Structure 1
Amino acid sequence: MTYSLRIADLPFSERPRERLLEQGAKNLSTAELIAILLGTGQGPGKLSAVGLGQFILQELGQHQRDPLEVLREVSPQELITIHGVGPAKATTILAAIELGKRVFQVRPTERTLIDSPGAAAAALSHELMWQVQERFAVVLLDVKNRLLGTKVITIGTATETLAHPRDIFREVIRQGATRAIIAHNHPSGNVEPSSEDISLTQQLLCGAQILSIPLLDHLILGNGDYRSLRQTTQLWEEYPQGD
């Protein structure tokens, strides 16, 4: 007789999907990762999905073989011969293995180095420079100041926009950036900072210190020109960023 036990029937602490969401995939065992692919258990002794994952690894590890090495090159026929693994489960496992291989075969593209205010302004030119509404954006960088991406946080009216430090840092953290440059445009073309621009920069520099996410600059763009507040104010001396 064939038995099955759903992952949902297990105690919460034994549910690999929930553990992955809470603790991350790196903290799951190989058997738990296989269990997520299988979804339900099946086989001898009324195995749970995790139990079936462990059973598969044991079968692959016969004759003192490393089960992961075998799994890397396993064939559909080899998987299907394992009790409890049918064609559907075998193809799911094989598809996951192939996807993992392809991910690691891709060479990461060379990221743009943002090593000056001009480079940051160029990265934002399309999104900010000639817009008729004021926009507030962030340049997301890795620890080596390489560009991870840009993100427009808010879009305002023709004369003003609002950007809250909470929204800005939420995006920086969500994107996994370790440092950032903020920027907004002045549709008038006048890149002189307003008192509100200075005040917001002070708030963001304080927040960056607390979060240990260096804020490298605040740029104002408009009509082909830009202004770096780091280069033209004393704010970074008042609020050192440790960069």
Structure 2
Amino acid sequence: MTYCLRIADIPLSERPRERLMAQGAKNLATAELIAILLGTGQGHGKLSAVGLGQYILQELSQHQRDPLEMLRDISVQELMKIPGVGLAKAATILAAVELGKRAFQSRPGDRTTIDSPAAAAAALSHDLMWQVQERFAVVLLDVKNRLIGTQVITIGTATETLAPPREIFREVLRQGATRLIIAHNHPSGSLEPSEEDINLTRQLLIGAQYLSIPLLDHLILGHGEHLSLRQTTSLWDEYPQGD
């Protein structure tokens, strides 16, 4: 066994975590990715985490097998047969493998299409519908109105919340969305938009025009019901979104 270098002896520029931060995960070797999962502690035969990662790959590649192919379907018990891999390390590796599978399987083509106010309200129901405090959220969409995700931007009191346009569009840009729907809840159950709701919608429509990121609607949710400001106001006629 030749992998005896301690992590403290490795130059900062060559340490897995530092390299990931500087160069991105895709530029790391498989052994380095495993090393990040395992941490910097000592493994089998006082190996560094990098050394243990390399050793695990060597063990998995016995009999000319592809170690990554082996990892796709390996069990905790099989991993624990490798010297230096206990339950905690095996569980960490398998959790990462499963997460990778799910991320890969969640392809854009499988995303839910948000094609109506009801569909958008359903996507936000858990976060907004029955909350006792006002919450402001955004539905993030791609160019085909497919759901990228939802995000609660702010949480207020029982009667009001603040949603700075800057924070909303920052999240939209960060997530790479090309369209959005905004929404907030009224804990009282009344769906009547306030003057503040109208003014905020107007500001966001202007910002969306400037950024060329169409704002498709502003929903108010409460007590199992929802209201679309696009359907009940003339704001979208005043500030066309080109959608």
State TM-score, norm by structure 2: 0.63
1:79 counterpart residue number: 82
1:137 counterpart residue number: 136
1:99 pairs, out of 95, 101, 112, with 95
In the TM superposition, 1:16-31 aligns within 5 A as: 16-21=16-21, 24-31=24-31
Which residues of structure 1 form unaligned runs of 5+? Answer: 81-85
Does 2:231 correspond to 1:216? no
In structure 2, relative to structure 1, the CA distance for the partners of 1:229 and 1:4 (3 Å cut) is same
Shift of 1:174: 6.5
- d(CA) in 1 for partners of 2:221 and 2:35? 52
Q: Secondary structure at the match of 2:114?
A: coil
- d(CA) in 1 for partners of 2:60 and 2:128? 56
In the TM superposition, 1:44-63 aligns within 5 A as: 48-54=48-54, 56-58=56-58, 60-61=60-61
Does 2:151 correspond to 1:155? no
Structure 2 letter corresponding to 1:16: P
1:118 counterpart residue number: 118
Root mean square deviation, CA, Å: 4.6
| CA-to-aligned-CA distance 1:35-91 (integer Å, 9 cap, x gap) | 2225246789x97533453455356546654333355549457632xxxxx354xx5
Using the aligned pairs only, state the percent identity: 56
Q: Secondary structure at the match of 1:115?
A: coil
- d(CA) in 1 for partners of 2:115 and 2:98? 32
Q: Secondary structure at the match of 1:226?
A: strand
State TM-score, norm by structure 1: 0.63
- d(CA) in 2 for partners of 1:21 and 1:225? 43
Shift of 1:33: 1.2
- d(CA) in 1 for partners of 2:57 and 2:228? 60
Structure 1 letter corresponding to 2:156: I
- Could you tell me whether the CA contact under 8 Å between 1:141 and 1:147 is conserved in 2? yes
Q: Secondary structure at the match of 1:183?
A: strand
Does 2:14 correspond to 1:14? yes
| CA-to-aligned-CA distance 1:133-170 (integer Å, 9 cap, x gap) | 6x342242443433734636232464x54221133334
1:83 counterpart residue number: none
- d(CA) in 2 for partners of 1:212 and 1:32? 41
Aligned residues: 230
1:228 counterpart residue number: 229
- Could you tell me whether the CA contact under 8 Å between 2:138 and 2:182 is conserved in 1? yes
- Could you tell me whether the CA contact under 8 Å between 1:130 and 1:222 is conserved in 2? yes
- Could you tell me whether the CA contact under 8 Å between 1:121 and 1:226 is conserved in 2? no
- d(CA) in 2 for partners of 1:19 and 1:32? 9
Shift of 1:8: 4.4
| CA-to-aligned-CA distance 1:178-227 (integer Å, 9 cap, x gap) | 54311235659473562x43442243234445666542211245685624
